[in-house]
Amino acid sequence: MTLSTTFDPAQIEARWYSHWEENGLFRPERPDAEPFTIVNPPPNVTGSLHIGHALDNTLQDIVIRYERLRGKDALWVVGTDHAGIATQMVVERQLEEKQDKRTNYSRDDFVDKVWEWKEESGGTITRQLRRLGCSMDWSREQFTMDEHFTKAVLKTFVDLHNDGLIYRDKRLVNWDPKLKTAISDLEVETQNIAGHFWHIKYPLADGVKLDDGRDYIEVATTRPETMLADMAVAVHPTDERYASVVGKHVVLPITGRRVPIVADEHADPELGSGAVKITPGHDFNDFEVGKRAGIAPGDMLNMLDGDANVCQTSDGLVPDEFLGLHRFKRDGVAGARELVVQRLKEQGYLIPHIAKTKKGEEQELDAEPRTIATPFGDRGGVVIEPWLTDQWYVDAEKLAAKPIEQVKSGDIEIIPQTWEKTFFNWMENIQPWCVSRQLWWGHRIPAWFGPSLKGLNPGPDDNSGLATVFVAESEEAVLQQAGEYYGTETKVFLEEGGDIRRGEVTLQRDPDVLDTWFSSALWPFATLGWPENTDLVQKHFPNNLLISGFDILFFWDARMMMMGQYTMGEAPWPKLYLHGLVRAADGAKMSKSKGNVVDPLGLIDQYGADALRFFMAAMESQGRDIKMDEKRVEGYRNFATKLWNATRFCQSNGIGSSSTLKAPSAKLAVNQWIIGEVQQTVEALDAALADLRFDAAANTIYQFTWSRFCDWYLELIKPLLVKDDDQAPAPEAAIAETREVAGWALDQILVMLHPFMPFITEELWHAQGNLSGIDRNGYPLITAKWPNPRASVSTEATDAIDWTIQFTSAARTARNELGIAPGVELRGMIKDASPAAMQVFTGNGAAAISRLSKIGPFLMTGKVGENVVEVPTFKPAMEIAVGEDVILVDLEGAIDVEAEKGRLKKALDASEKEAKSLEGRLGNANFVERAKPEAVEKAKADHAHHSAEVERLTAALARLG
């Protein structure tokens, strides 16, 4: 294979991915190998690849490719989540486009339509993951609604219920009135919107007055409509203003409800009047206050239905004019909020807010304008309503105990460790987990309701509405439970058909489905075939590592810890790596509304998947978010191009592939040096990946490839390989050794770089094999062996090459700083040469230095053989320091020294002045705090630039003496 003159990622990516997948190379048969297992956070089946997915999956792919190269039975479990709300919304929108709707179908028929959509359109993100190069085991692709997965979900629910860890309770939930379902905290987005603070008089009952003579308590609220369901007023226990009325009552305006005044620390004496209205059925804080005040959840008042329209409370005190009104103004029609405010104002209970106009004049407003943090459903797009309903809950507090213990003991390591504090804070204060959703798409809750025995034979004081719940994995098991409960004389029907007058009972199945986080919490073991004790479960559970974004630490990671311990008796993995977010270039969070979202597929189209992947790895520093920088992505595309061109140079000079894992034997210093560099790079790379320092790992292989191999090694060996008419040809043995070592070193680069840049490395691996007449289809790079040089090299030889490189780099910098043209030949002199320098100049190094730095011939002082050589001092001259050696370079005739000093001094003065000015600006707190962030960042960058210039120019002047 002859490499093209230009590197084109698009030509190789699809071809190699298909080859890997079609040949089963993502999970080669290694039954006796040590297992290594990771699972991907299953993306929503409705999803498409975003930049966060690109980061998350790139890091996982680096790890799995690395472990595969190390010979492990590496399994990366892949699949998608059924995404209850999101998927149901997608299908319902499709129906709406056809003037159709979900309720025109039976539940089963609608679910069939969702399955149809899933088969036709649900694989977008999995195709996109392939474009990124993710080496997942697609042959075992999972879906959280697959039959085997559903069995795992049902068994877990039933087991938890039988152990008393799942129960039904009446509590507040985040209710989405548009979707008509409870949603999780993760699906709630808080937005700051313009709102108001209304101040209201709540009259004291029974002629009671405050110490200041007022016959009312003032409360303030951002939601005046909820007063229709108020059940108390709370004041702080230490607030002396209200000590005399605690235990007394107020009579609510509009409803006339008599409610108590309670002492509770929730009331802040420093905020407003210090008194707060308590609506336990529509506020999470108020719910807890209500419970502390002795109000049972079943007795808490609910004033809204599932559409957020006003309904009658259980005490019947909401006036008829409010019934059926929406909570807010909608389509120009006043809502409950507007009518409550109007009635309060008419009846004299609204306390006006006195504000000043721009002219300083006072004006009376109904409410105080405020910016209110308001919860919105991320999918429904409407304000979330805390709503009191009966739902299924998991006793998360009990399940959290063991994971807390495991993290504290180190059995589970969280990386970076800084996240442990956040983990403990949440887990130690965890609330019951609501796992039921009011949807049709999802895992149906395996619970059936029937009348209680008392309901079948009601007594005089019996509530015949009492229900008995039966929880089981199958209908057969439910019927058996019901038969045992009701007795053999009672015939039990499911869903319909029973007639209680004939001694028959009908059980109704719970219509709700389970929260998708419940099923995904089983991902590390249900994907392996549990509850069956499969070979995969035995070998690959627990997993070795989990990589996820920190934003799902509680919603997924912590719940997997709970379920892994409960179900499998151990942690699902010993190590959890949490990466940051990918932010816009200015550090802002990406969002569609801001228009700063970056499409990873667009970056792949432009720069290739390898470049994007390397950017993600290089920028992933533990504990920090990543700022998107397209220039850096372009830079890593250039890195790939440099490797491509370096391989073309090798091929054009007869350097092919290697056939040995062990380093070849070498006599030449330059070849010993590159072997030693490979060995050091492998060790550094192994250490970085063991610590999951992706940035350090990427930088290690980048620097070795670009600087050590491409820039230096190929340059140093070029005289051996490229024929020069002015020089005698190199010995054949030296050429053969160099070609062998160079081919081996390039192979090691391709292997070490493969986890980061899989496409270009596989292409070059095969191209090198073909040049050597080796068909590498039977030994593709993806399943090759990780480097193991096992080499011993001469320290004297490697020190000599390092000295040559350091001198050449310093000489080039000095020439550039002094404006000496690259082609100008200069003389050099070294005094009292160190052993490393002596090794260079008594060997073949002098010619290499002359060629690379355009400095030579060299004069030396010190002992050469039996002779001590003395040479005259150069003047004018510049000094170049390399370790303990100081090299003088003759500038006679090379430059106008005085003119150059003047130029450098002028530039130095300008940079010193600018650096001092910027330092003053950055030291000004007003500037740093008030200026736009981009202006502050620019000032910092400019200061760093001019500070560096001061150092560079000072050094350049010092060289001139």
What are 507-527's pLDDT values in tens digits? Answer: 899 999 999 999 999 999 999
Four-point Cα dihedral 289, 292, 295, 297, nearest 10 = 70
C-alpha count within 13 angstroms, C-beta hemisphere, residue 635: 11
Looking at 885-960, which runs of residues are DSSP E strands? 885-890
- The answer to whether the CB of 388 falls within 8 A of the CB of 172 is yes
Q: Encode burial over 721-747: b for 16+ CB neighbours within 10 A, e otherwise.
A: beeeeeeeebeeebbebbbbbbbbbbb
| Three-state secondary structure call for residue 252 | coil
> For the chain, how many helices (H) and strands (E)?
30, 35
Q: Minimal CA–CA distance to 590: which of 55, 21, 17?
A: 55
Name the token pair of 222. 């951002």
Q: Encode burial over 816-851: b for 16+ CB neighbours within 10 A, e otherwise.
A: ebbebeeeeebbbbbeebbebbbbbbebebbebbbe
Residues near 97 by Cβ (< 8 Å), separated by ≥ 6?
A: none
Four-point Cα dihedral 450, 453, 457, 460, nearest 10 = -110
Provide the H-helix boundaries in 772-821: 795-817
Q: Quote the CA–CA distance of 182 and 743 in Å, as a whole number.
A: 62
| Strand 546-549 relative to strand 513-514, pairing | unpaired
- The answer to whether the CB of 895 falls within 8 A of the CB of 824 is no
pLDDT of residue 51: 95
Residues near 777 by Cβ (< 8 Å), separated by ≥ 6?
A: 766
pLDDT of residue 458: 45
- The answer to whether the CB of 585 falls within 8 A of the CB of 628 is yes
Residues near 953 by Cβ (< 8 Å), separated by ≥ 6?
A: 817, 904, 907, 908, 911
Nearest 5°: the CA angle 471, 473, 475 is 85
- The answer to whether the CB of 188 falls within 8 A of the CB of 174 is yes
Q: Quote the CA–CA distance of 98 and 87 in Å, as a whole number.
A: 17
Nearest 5°: the CA angle 67, 68, 71 is 95
Name the token pair of 111. 């679910």
Q: Quote the CA–CA distance of 485 and 479 in Å, as a whole number.
A: 10
- The answer to whether the CB of 576 falls within 8 A of the CB of 415 is yes
Q: Minimal CA–CA distance to 922: which of 907, 908, 941?
A: 941
Q: Encode burial over 913-936: b for 16+ CB neighbours within 10 A, e otherwise.
A: ebbeebeebeeeeeeeeeeeeeeb
Low-confidence ranges of the chain (pLDDT < 50): 458-464, 864
Give residue-wise pLDDT tens across range 423-438: 999 999 999 999 999 9
H or E stretch covering 869:
strand 867-869
Furthest-apart CA atoms within the chain: distance in Å: 124
The CA–CA distances, whole Å, from 417 to 410, 414, 426, 623 equal 11, 5, 15, 9
| Strand 232-235 relative to strand 362-365, pairing | unpaired
pTM of this structure: 0.88
Length of the chain: 961
Q: Minimal CA–CA distance to 220: which of 100, 349, 32?
A: 349
- The answer to whether the CB of 793 falls within 8 A of the CB of 800 is no
Name the token pair of 699. 């930088």
pLDDT of residue 866: 58
Q: Quote the CA–CA distance of 659 and 668 in Å, as a whole number.
A: 20
